[in-house]
């Protein structure tokens, strides 16, 4: 291999390069000062890989005919339109051709005759407006990259002839309005990326023919919507793509519904619907997604309901409902999600309560309720969440009390022994903590910042043996601290800034040097 990539001062190669008769790879890409190649380069008949990216390849090398065994050719950023068809057609062994970032308006003649070609990249050919029907003659092609072909408005019907194709990249094809029905003939296709195809309004029913598809990305397809049937939305046939493991519909802001057939995607493990602002409901069939591990519904601001069948999504480990601001309640069967580890309900501003069934989430480690400003209480069953390590109640301004059951030891399941962080920031209605809080023996961080109605801390707080950080900043109604706070041997930091009602600080606390109203437990040495 001779790699001279980006040698920007290189102006010529010596004639002796032709003596390297066994050379298999030559990369001259980015050698912007290169004026010519010696005639002797045509003696490199064993060359299998040739890189001429960003060069005037036609001027440097009038013909490729001498490279009969060439399998890889990189012509990114070159003026490929000047190459005669026969020049490429002679490369009968070529398997990889990169024409990305060139000024092509259509695929040059001769490319469709490359019977051995397996990978073709036209990435970033922003002037490409047309592909010939003959592209379907590339029977060996497995990967076709058309990403960032911003002027490409349609694909030819002949694309259905690419029976070996496994990967089709169409991301950032801004002008693409539809896919041809023949797309359903791509029986080997495993990955279809349509991210940011902003003009795409529908998918053809034939998409159900993609029986090998595992990854479908429709992120930021902002024109994809639920309209009258003649326009369509997500076709019902999508449920026939039973091999699909990942479906991304993020930022499809006009999408108002999912088809019932989606429940047929029994191998789906990841579904992203983030920022689907018009999505109002999930279909009952969603309970059939038995392999689903992650579901992202964050910022689905119109979502008003999750069906009871949701309890059937037994493999779910992560559920994100951040800013589902129209969602008034969670399904009763939520507690059936035996594998759920993280539940994010941040900014669910109309959510008023959690159901007792939440206590059934035996594997839950993180529960985020930040900004649920209408949430008034937590159910006693929250004490059954034995695996919970983080509970975030930041800005739950309507929360009036915490249940004693939060830390009680249930006979069968146990208390929140694993909890390490409890955030109650801006729980402005909270006046006291439960006695049972002392049982949170693993708690290292307790944040009560801006709990403006909190009047006292109970003596039992001294039982938090692992506590290292206590934040009481802006607890203006707090008048005193219990003496037992000095028993918190692990405490490294207590923030009392803006506790304007505090009358005194116990002798067991000392101010941290260089700080203002930040204290630590005094040493007993």
Give the pLDDT score at 274: 97
Q: What CATH number did the domain enclosing 419 receive? A: 3.80.10.10
Buried/exposed code over 17-29 (b: 16+ C-beta within 10 A; e: otherwise): bbebeebeebbbb
Give CA–CA dist 516/71, Å, rounded.
Answer: 69
User: Does residue 216 sit within a domain?
Assistant: no
What number of other Cβ atoms are within 10 A of residue 16's Cβ? 9
User: Does residue 491 sit within a domain?
Assistant: yes
What range defines the domain where residue 457 resides? 389-397+410-524
User: Does residue 424 sit within a domain?
Assistant: yes
Give CA–CA dist 157/152, Å, rounded.
Answer: 14
Q: Is 90 exceeded by the pLDDT of residue 310? A: yes
Residue 199 and residue 178 in contact, taking contact as beta carbons nearer than 8 Å: no
Give CA–CA dist 454/430, Å, rounded.
Answer: 6
Give the pLDDT score at 412: 28
User: Does residue 69 sit within a domain?
Assistant: no
Domain count, the chain: 1
Q: What is the pLDDT of residues 175-195, one digit of tens each?
A: 999 999 999 999 999 999 999
SS3 state at 192: strand
C-alpha distances out from residue 519 to 183, 444, 458, 494, Å: 67, 16, 19, 5
User: Does residue 44 sit within a domain?
Assistant: no
User: Does residue 358 sit within a domain?
Assistant: no
234 confidence band (pLDDT: 50, 70, 90): low
User: Does residue 219 sit within a domain?
Assistant: no
Give the pLDDT score at 225: 67
Give CA–CA dist 11/502, Å, rounded.
Answer: 78
Q: Is 70 exceeded by the pLDDT of residue 523? A: no
User: Does residue 496 sit within a domain?
Assistant: yes
Average pLDDT for 395-423: 62
């Amino acid at each position: 291999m001779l790699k001279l990539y980006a040698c920007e001062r290189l102006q010529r190669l010596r004639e002796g390069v032709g003596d390297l008769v066994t050379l298999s790879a030559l990369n001259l890409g980015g050698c912007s000062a290169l004026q010519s190649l010696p005639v002797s380069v045509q003696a490199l008949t064993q060359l299998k890989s040739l890189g001429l990216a960003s060069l005037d390849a036609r001027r440097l090398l009038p013909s490729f005919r001498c490279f009969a065994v060439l399998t890889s050719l990189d012509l990114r950023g070159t003026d490929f339109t000047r190459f005669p068809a026969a020049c490429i057609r002679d490369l009968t062994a070529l398997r990889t051709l990169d024409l990305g970032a060139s000024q092509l308006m259509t695929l040059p003649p001769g490319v469709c005759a490359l019977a051995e070609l397996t990978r073709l990249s036209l990435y970033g050919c922003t002037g490409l407006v047309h592909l010939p029907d003959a592209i379907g003659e590339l029977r060996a092609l497995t990967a076709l990259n058309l990403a960032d072909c911003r002027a490409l408005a349609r694909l030819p019907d002949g694309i259905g002839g690419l029976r070996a194709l496994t990967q089709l990249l169409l991301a950032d094809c801004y002008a693409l309005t539809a896919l041809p029905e023949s797309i359903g003939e791509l029986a080997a296709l495993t990955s279809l990326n349509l991210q940011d195809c902003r003009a795409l309004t529908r998918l053809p029913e034939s998409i159900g023919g993609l029986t090998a598809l595992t990854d479908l990305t429709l992120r930021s397809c902002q024109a994809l919507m639920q309209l009258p049937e003649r326009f369509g939305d997500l076709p019902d046939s999508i449920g026939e793509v039973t091999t699909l493991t990942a479906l991304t519909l993020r930022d499809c802001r006009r999408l108002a519904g999912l088809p019932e057939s989606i429940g047929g995607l029994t191998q789906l493990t990841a579904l992203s619907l983030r920022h689907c602002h018009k999505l109002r409901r999930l279909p009952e069939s969603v309970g059939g997604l038995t392999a689903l591990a992650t579901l992202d519904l964050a910022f689905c601001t119109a979502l008003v309901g999750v069906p009871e069948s949701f309890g059937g999504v037994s493999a779910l480990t992560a559920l994100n409902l951040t800013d589902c601001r129209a969602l008034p309640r969670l399904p009763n069967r939520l507690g059936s999600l035996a594998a759920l580890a993280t539940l994010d309900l941040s900014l669910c501003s109309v959510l008023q309560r959690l159901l007792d069934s939440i206590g059934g989430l035996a594997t839950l480690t993180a529960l985020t309720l930040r900004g649920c400003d209408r949430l008034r209480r937590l159910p006693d069953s929250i004490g059954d969440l034995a695996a919970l390590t983080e509970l975030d109640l930041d800005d739950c301004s309507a929360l009036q009390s915490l249940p004693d059951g939060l830390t009680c030891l249930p006979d069968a399941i146990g208390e929140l022994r694993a909890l390490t962080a409890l955030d109650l920031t801006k729980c402005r209605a909270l006046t006291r903590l439960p006695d049972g809080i002392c049982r949170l023996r693993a708690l290292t961080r307790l944040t009560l910042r801006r709990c403006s109605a909190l009047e006292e801390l109970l003596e039992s707080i001294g039982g938090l043996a692992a506590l290292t950080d206590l934040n009481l900043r802006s607890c203006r109604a707090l008048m005193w601290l219990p003496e037992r706070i000095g028993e918190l041997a692990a405490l490294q930091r207590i923030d009392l800034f803006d506790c304007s009602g505090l009358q005194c600080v116990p002798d067991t606390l000392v101010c941290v040097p260089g700080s203002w109203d930040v204290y630590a437990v005094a040493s007993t040495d």
